[in-house]
Copies of this chain bind each other. A is one copy, B any other.
Amino acid sequence: MLDDRKLKILYAIINSYILSAEPIGSRTITKQYDLGVSSATIRNEMSDLEDLGYLNKPHSSAGRVPSDKAYRLYVDQLLKMLKPKIDYDKKEEIKKVLLKESREIDHLLQNSAKILSAITSYTALAVSPKMKGARIKLIQLVPIDEHQVLMTIVSDTGVVKNSIFRLNTGISEDQINTISNMLNDKLKGLPVDKINDDLANDIIKEIYDYKNIIDSVIPVINKALEDIYDVDIYADGITKILDFPEYKDLEKAKTFISFIEDKDMIVDLLLNNSITQDIEISIGSENVYAPIKDCSLITANYRLGDKVIGKIGVIGPTRMDYYNAISNLYLVSINISEIIDMLLGRKR
């Protein structure tokens, strides 16, 4: 559809615009790129590219600015080129930094966001491992004092969840332990989302003696599981967006930052898109949420074994250094997966 010259010109404009954030004129192209044609020709081609929807003009006598469609073309091309190139030296460099302070998954993700934001100079986001599809590895009750019991649930994705709850009926340590063991036998290995009231009734049937206690424990477990679905968000470099001239407008900046601060939005943003691709990119108007309709979001999966359990991403202006962002995001995501594998062990 686009002939070679148009493509070259379009890429030249995109590259220049990514650097300068200023509309690009025909003379700028002739000066900076040796395309062997005059500025008038470039002008004609630019006019065509505008008609085709790849370029926009801020006003009639200004230079051109790439459209979202142009970035899409550019990025799709870039992804193809990038695939085989992994800079292993850089990956190890990042890994070294990550390993230094990441003995727990939450630290790991926080640090990943930090380092990613530092390398790319865009805002970085990470979401903690999600429980959907996870299995219970351990559930146990421990008496803390006469009336308080600590419940701990560990998932095979490495998430640990504690709840302290009160029991009104006095209960002995032995009884608690019996129940704890029984719950563990029943629930260990089960997918988290398979635990429901039927199962609870099952359990009660088997040990009717403890019905009262079980009855009070079940809601605690359910609440805990609810909480466990409630993933955490790690953000870093939120204010980086203020460095870009397109966010000199306070109202825009405020909208953006408020959006990033809104946990529910970000969870939805990161988890409610497809996870088929390793790297997902949504550019400007492709984004569902209004506050980021002139941003680009790049996300990558991280895994435990071969199962995708979470995401990390960068978000910045559509005029973003996609090459840098994509490649570094990819390196960080690989490292996260590797380190999680290390922390949780290969056997599951």
Contacts and interface: CB of A to CB of B under 8 A. Distances in A.
The secondary structure that dominates the A interface is: mixed
A214 to B, nearest CB: 20
A104 B226 CA distance: 13
A96 interface: no
A137 B145 CA distance: 9
B238 A345 contact: no
Interface in A294-348: 343-345, 347
B150 A160 contact: yes
Contacts of A144: 137-138, 154
Contacts of A265: none
Nearest to A103: B223
A248 B347 CA distance: 55
Interface string A221-242: 0010001000000000011001
Nearest to A343: B164
A145 B239 contact: no
A73 to B, nearest CB: 33
A253 B261 contact: no
A142 B138 CA distance: 9
A165 to B, nearest CB: 9
Nearest to A251: B242
A211 interface: no
A160 B158 contact: no
Nearest to A348: B145
Given A144-B154, A253-B253, A162 B160 contact: yes
Given A145-B347, A250-B250, 9 more contacts: A137-B145, A145-B345, A147-B347, A160-B162, A160-B164, A162-B162, A242-B257, A243-B254, A248-B250
A238 B250 contact: no
A151 to B, nearest CB: 10
Given A137-B144, A144-B154, A150-B152, A163 B238 contact: no
Nearest to A163: B104
Interface in A248-283: 248, 250, 253-254, 257-258, 261
A140 interface: yes
Given A160-B162, A160-B164, A164-B160, A147 B239 contact: no
Interface string A139-175: 0101011111010101000101011101000000000
A314 to B, nearest CB: 16
Contacts of A254: 239, 242-243
Contact of A345 (B148, B261, B345): B148
Contacts of A253: 242, 250, 253
Nearest to A184: B142
A230 to B, nearest CB: 10
Contacts of A152: 142, 150, 152, 162
